[in-house]
Structures are given as C-alpha cells and as structure tokens.
Amino acid sequence: MNVQFDFSGRHAVVFGGTTGINLGIAQAFARAGARVTVASRKQANVDAAVATLGDGALGLVADVRDEASVASALAQAAATHGPIDVLVSGAAGNFLAEVNGMSSNAFKVVVDIDLIGSFHVARQAYAHLRKPGASIIFITAPQAVVAMPHQAHVGAAKAGVDQFARVLALEWGPAGVRVNAISPGPIQGTEGMQRLAPQIQDGDATLRAIVPLGRMGTTQDIAHLAMFLGSDAASYVSGAVIACDGGAQGMLTPMISGAIAAQAPAR
Ligand code: COA
Ligand code: NAP
C-alpha cells in the first residue's frame, strides 16, 4: 500500500518503541524521513530496534515507571535530534489474570507502566516539544471502554490513558500541542495478541465474526494512523481516541474468553 507522508526535518520519539506495534510506528516515521528516537527497558530490544531504523536513529534504555529515567532519555533525545515534533507513548504490560488471582502489585505494575508511565512521558516531554505544531499520540486499547474478563488491570489503566489524553488536549491545546490516542484492534504477530488470544489467527471464524473487515490488523495499519495524527493533515484533530480495529468497535471479548477457556479448567 502506497501511503506517503513527509517527516523530513522532524523528530519522532517513541516510548516502548523497540518491538511490535510501537516499533512499526517508529519504522514508518523513519521511512518518512523523520529523525527517530526509541526507548524501552531492555538494551537488547533497543539495539535490535535501532538496527532496523536506519542511519542516525537513537536508541535509549528507559523505564517509563521511573520518571528520572524518562527525563534523562528525553534530554538525550532532544540534545541529539532537537525539539520533539511527535511523541508516541506506547509502553505497556499485560497478562491474563482474574481479580481473585491477582496481587495488589500485579494490578499496580500494569497501572504503573501504562498510566503512570504515560503521565511521566508526557509531563517530562513538554519542555522538549516543538510547540506549536507538536503532537502527542498515546497507544491505548479497547479494554478501556469494553469490559473484558481477566483484564481489570489493563482496563483500568487504559481507561485512565484515554481520559488523560483528553484532559491534556484541553490543557496543552492553547500552546498548539495536539494530543490524541490510538486504540488498536487485534494486531497480527504481536506480543499483545500472543498474551491475550494466541489461538486467534487470520481466517479464524471467531475473528471474522468479530471484525467486520474480516482480518487482523497489521502494525502498518496502526503506523499509518500514527503518521496521519502526527502530520499537518491532522492539524484540527485533538482530544480524539481513535479505534483502528477493522470496525470491531472493541468487541473482542469472545477472543479473550476463548483464550481463558483454553488455559483454565472450567469452574
Ligand atoms: N498472573 C497474575 N499475576 C502476575 C502475572 C500473571 N500472569 N504475571 C505477573 N504477575 C504479577 C507478579 O506475580 C508480580 O506480583 P507479586 O509481586 O505480588 O508477585 C507483579 O505481577 C509484577 O510482576 P513482575 O514480573 O515483577 O513485573 P515486571 O516489572 O518484571 O514485568 C509485566 C511487568 C508483568 C507486565 C511483564 O509481563 C512485562 O514486562 N510485560 C511487557 C510486555 C507486555 O506485556 N507486552 C504486551 C503489551 S499489550
Ligand atoms: P509489545 O511488543 O510487548 O510492546 C511493548 C513495548 O513496551 C516493548 O517495546 C517493551 O520493551 C516496552 N516496555 C514494556 N514495559 C516498559 C517500561 N516499563 N518502560 C519502557 N518500555 C517498556 O506489545 P504490542 O502488542 O506491540 O503492544 C504495543 C501497544 O499497543 C501497547 O500499548 C498495547 O497496550 C497496545 N495494544 C496492542 C494490541 C495488540 O493487538 N497487540 C491491541 C490493542 C492495544 P522492553 O521489554 O524492552 O521494555
């Protein structure tokens, strides 16, 4: 598919950008000419990601739960590539666990990564954004709006991300900063799908019943939306949480229920 954007001279920073959907976004911005910075916890992931991003890409180790580590990464990114034009906050953690099978720390670890991490990334990036014209994109999930079993931690965290994005759009809009969120549907070949519904494959009858467009999404589908949101074509789009899910409208519960049934004995 030939979708063209030009991000020459612009700087895109992707937190959690070393694997999966977020790496796909970073690669798309790099192909469109942006100077790209990616950051995540594991050096091996950072190195592997940077090797796919072309000359000049910057890879940094940072844990979004640690505000000082986020601040340090952003300072290095700005010192290397200049002010930030597009900031993507996509780091996340997930596992299937019912509330009765989850410790307080298990609930908290996902809230810390997904929600508090998003706060750290946005709050610390503000001073480095090239405002006006800068754009922030959070990566949220359908669990934010649709109740899914064994996903209380993720639902609570991502619902917080959605509302955080909307409030930031109000507070930072007057400075010319746009803030949006992308809610991906089931994306092929990703860690998220492996953890939630590993039995689902393209062509599967359950998938076709759930997704009107009849297929899983690709990381490129999400990257195209991210590039639109980061571009001047979206200059009047802010405070939006946009699904990119083939029309599934978040109704992915049957997939997850299937995975739970496959894993756990019936009660
Ligand atoms: N069921 C119940 N509890 C679980 C669990 C599961 N499947 N997996 C982890 N936990 C609990 C742990 O037992 C621990 O709680 P405890 O201290 O009370 O024992 C808590 O969660 C934190 O686990 P820990 O392994 O110490 O966290 P971590 O910081 O090393 O890793 C995770 C964070 C658990 C989210 C890990 O899965 C991760 O790093 N994920 C990133 C990748 C990912 O999830 N990608 C998909 C994105 S959609
Ligand atoms: P993924 O490959 O596991 O991506 C998560 C990324 O976040 C990894 O690069 C990971 O790298 C990084 N990360 C995790 N914890 C971190 C932390 N504490 N600090 C910094 N970085 C951290 O998963 P994915 O499936 O592509 O999901 C990407 C995003 O899309 C997530 O926000 C997820 O909620 C959302 N999403 C996914 C789907 C799907 O179908 N996959 C559907 C809806 C929403 P390190 O391990 O190196 O830290």
Give the CA radius of gyration of the chain.
18
Binned at pLDDT 50, 70 and 90, residue 263 comes out as: confident
Q: What residues flank ligand 1, with Cβ below 6 Å?
A: 92-95, 97, 101-103, 105-106, 109-110, 191-192, 195
Distance 267 CA to ligand 1 centre (A): 24
pTM of the model: 0.98
What's the total number of domains in the chain?
1
In a domain, 215, yes or no: yes
- Which of 191, 200, 252 has most ligand 2 atoms within 8 Å of CB, for mutation? 191
| Percent of the chain clearing pLDDT 90 (strictly above) | 90
Distance 158 CA to ligand 2 centre (A): 13
In a domain, 6, yes or no: no
Atom of ligand 1 nearest to the CA of 93: 44
From residue 154, how far is each of 5, 69, 212 by CA, in Å?
Answer: 32, 23, 24
Q: What is the CATH number of the domain that holds 142?
A: 3.40.50.720
State the chain's mean pLDDT as an integer: 96
From residue 196, how far is each of 149, 165, 190, 252, 262 by CA, in Å?
Answer: 11, 25, 10, 10, 11
Tell me: the pLDDT tens digits for 115-137? Answer: 999 999 999 999 999 999 999 99
In a domain, 115, yes or no: yes
- Structure tokens of 225? 């939306």
- Structure tokens of 35? 């100077």
Residue ranges making up the domain that contains 96: 12-263
Minimal-distance CA residue to ligand 1 atom 20: 106
Tell me: the pLDDT tens digits for 199-254? Answer: 998 989 989 999 999 999 999 999 999 999 999 999 999 999 999 999 999 888 88
> What's the average model confidence in pLDDT over 107-119?
99
> What's the average model confidence in pLDDT over 47-56?
97
Per-residue model confidence (pLDDT) at position 255: 85
Kindly tell me if the per-residue pLDDT of 2 is higher than 80: no
In a domain, 5, yes or no: no
Per-residue model confidence (pLDDT) at position 266: 47
Distance 260 CA to ligand 1 centre (A): 17
- Asked whether 34 and 12 are in contact (CB, 8 A), the reply is yes
In a domain, 7, yes or no: no
Cα 89 from chain centre: 6
Per-residue model confidence (pLDDT) at position 251: 85
